[in-house]
Structure formats: C-alpha cells, structure tokens
Amino acid sequence: MSDLTGKVALITGAARGQGAAEARLFVERGAKVVVTDVLETEGEQLAESLGDAARFVRHDVTDAESWDAAVKVAVDTFGKLDVLVNNAAIYIMKPLTETSAEELERILKVNLVGAFHGMKAVMPAMAAAGGGSIVNISSQAGLEGLMNHSAYGSSKWGLRGLSKIAALELGPTRIRVNSVHPGPIATPMVPYLTTGPGSFPTLPLERTGLPEEVAELVAFLASDAAAYITGAEVTVDGGLAAGKFIPRNMR
Ligand SMILES: NC(=O)c1ccc[n+]([C@@H]2O[C@H](COP(=O)([O-])OP(=O)(O)OC[C@H]3O[C@@H](n4cnc5c(N)ncnc54)[C@H](O)[C@@H]3O)[C@@H](O)[C@H]2O)c1
C-alpha cells in the first residue's frame, strides 16, 4: 500500500475516470490534491467530496499560460508541489485514411503538448521542494501499433518518448518521470467497454481494468517507495502488451 502522507499532487483531467480514482486514492493515502479539468461541475463535485484535502481548478492543459496559475494554487493552498500526474487526454479511433490533419493536431495538442507544458510548469516548484515525481499516463497504444489509432497512438508514443527524455534531463534535480500504460479501462473515454469476468476475452486476464487499479500504480510511482524508479514504462493492462494471447475459443 503506497503511502502518500505529506505529498501534494496536481492531477490533470481528474474530474472523472482514472484521474478521479487517482485523486480519491491519493487523498485516502494522505496526500493533498489539486484536481484540474475542463469539466467544471464534475471537478467541483469531486473536490467537494474530498473535503479540505482537495481543490478544483478549471484548467485546459493546452493553455500554456494557465499552467502557472494551476501550480500556484497547489503551492499557495498546500505549501508545495511534489507530484504531477499528466492524465488529461482525448481519444479518437478511426482509420488513418479517414483521420484529418486537424484531428491529429488536436489530439497531439491535448495528449502530448499538454503534458509537455505541465512538466515545464511544475519544474521550479518541484525543484524547490527538493524533487518530485511526474507520472505521464500513456497507453498500450503507446507501446504497440494499434489499428485505427494513428492520432491517439502517435500522441501516446510521443508521451512515452518524452517521459524518457525528461527522466534523463530532470534526474539531477531529483524529479523522477515515468510513463504508465493502461490497457482497456472502463471509463467514459471508452463507453462501450463492460466490466467483470470475461469482459475482455482477448487478453490474458480476460477482463477490462478498473480506474482504481490504475490509480494503485500511479500512487506507487508517486510515492517514495518508487524513489529509484525513473524513465520506466509500466503496464497495467491485464497482460495485453505481453505478447500474442490466443483466446480460449481460438485455441
Ligand atoms: N480508458 C482507457 O481504456 C484508457 C486506456 C489507456 C490509456 N488511457 C488514458 O488514461 C487517461 C485517463 O483517461 P480515462 O480513461 O479516465 O478517460 P476520461 O475521458 O474519463 O478522462 C479524461 C479526462 O481528461 C479531461 N480532458 C480532456 N481534454 C482536456 C483538456 N484539454 N484539459 C484538461 N482536461 C481535459 C476530460 O474532461 C476527462 O475528464 C488518459 O490519458 C487516457 O488516454 C485510457
């Protein structure tokens, strides 16, 4: 069980889905959390449910200038910033030939450039705190080629690479940077996914994952238990990226 006592975290895209599960778990484990998102009602409700340990800030990760204001809320309210979870993202699934350059640019702007802005914005506060942990939420689509994921996959491959470069550059300031690669997780991003045993028969554990299961990994990487881990890419995917799994009905 990862202990986050005394940590201050900023989690983007945390009004719902995995980001919200991370905010809940972080508070449960002793952290203070700044929850950011473009979804105001959901974000406010989540922060309210977490009490004094959480604040909501309406923040679009593509807006470079407002990043400083979001970081300032963490420092002014909770005294410092130790953890950034770059979780906000958008998703499309369509063939390459039907994907427009505008769609590719939009998805890169949110999923990759948003995280880039975030890492730059938190560096001074993290360095002042003596170091920190940045967790970039990539995807299985950032580890393998997935059909019909040219735009989303490019953004997630980019974020995986950016995480490694940042790990090299920020290590001397004691800022760790790792990427997390979820498989199919039941959230509003992919509303057609179901949960429970047998819900995803084409991967080794034969089910979709839950936001809370990703949150456990993110909490670990954010904690001091992961003090020697940086530049790593960690899957939480029921074994999907391990190799070519043959489903029961095809053996
Ligand atoms: N759900 C999956 O199957 C899955 C699989 C692999 C990776 N992921 C990744 O996990 C992360 C969390 O996704 P989720 O499944 O919880 O989906 P989600 O759609 O529930 O959550 C994403 C959140 O990001 C917010 N967001 C979108 N654009 C934003 C912007 N410009 N600025 C600020 N916030 C913005 C959304 O409002 C939403 O609350 C994402 O990075 C996603 O790409 C998801």
| pLDDT tens digits for range 136-161 | 999 999 999 999 999 999 999 999 99
Read off the pLDDT of each residue in 34-56 and give the average, rounded to a whole number. 98
| Range 45-52 average pLDDT | 98
* Whether the CB of 39 sits within 6 Å of ligand 1: yes
Burial of 172 (0-12, 13-18, 19+ CB in 10 A): exposed
pLDDT on residue 216: 98
Tens digit of each residue's pLDDT (9 = 90 or more) over 70-110: 999 999 999 999 999 999 999 999 999 999 999 999 999 99
Q: Is the CB of 189 under 6 A from ligand 1?
A: yes
**For position 192, what pLDDT does the model report?**
94
**What rounded mean pLDDT belongs to the chain?**
98
Residue 1 is predicted with a pLDDT of 85
| Ligand 1 near 155 CB (within 6 A) | no
Task: Evaluate: CB of 63 within 6 angstroms of ligand 1.
Answer: no
For 24-37, how does the pLDDT look when each residue is reduced to its tens digit (9 = 90+)? 999 999 999 999 99
Other Cβ atoms less than 10 A from the Cβ of 147: the count is 9
Determine the distance separating the centroid of ligand 1 and the alpha carbon of 154, expressed in angstroms. 15
Q: Which atom of ligand 1 is nearest to the CA of 62?
A: 31
Region 8-239: CATH code: 3.40.50.720
Stretch 43-51: mean pLDDT, rounded?
Answer: 98
Q: Confidence class of residue 166 from pLDDT cuts 50, 70 and 90?
A: very high
CA of 93 to the centre of ligand 1 (A): 14
Supply the pLDDT for residue 119: 98
- What CA–CA distance (Å, rounded) separates 134 from 23? 15
Nearest CA-CA partner of 135 in 179, 174, 170: 179
Q: Would you say residue 164 has pLDDT above 90?
A: yes
130: pLDDT strictly greater than 90: yes
Q: Residue 146: count other Cβ atoms within 10 Å of its Cβ.
A: 15
pLDDT tens digit string along 189-203? 999 999 999 999 999
- Catalytic status, residue 91: no
Residue 240 CB coordination number (10 Å): 22
* Predicted confidence (pLDDT) per residue in 170-186, tens digit: 999 999 999 999 999 99
Give counts: helices (H), strands (E), the chain. Answer: 7, 7
Residue nearest to atom 19 of ligand 1 (CA): 189
Cα-only R_g, the chain: 17
Evaluate if residue 10 carries a pLDDT over 90: yes
pLDDT of 245 over the 90 cut = yes
The best mutation among 18, 67, 218 to test binding of ligand 1, ranked by most ligand atoms within 8 Å of the C-beta, falls on 18
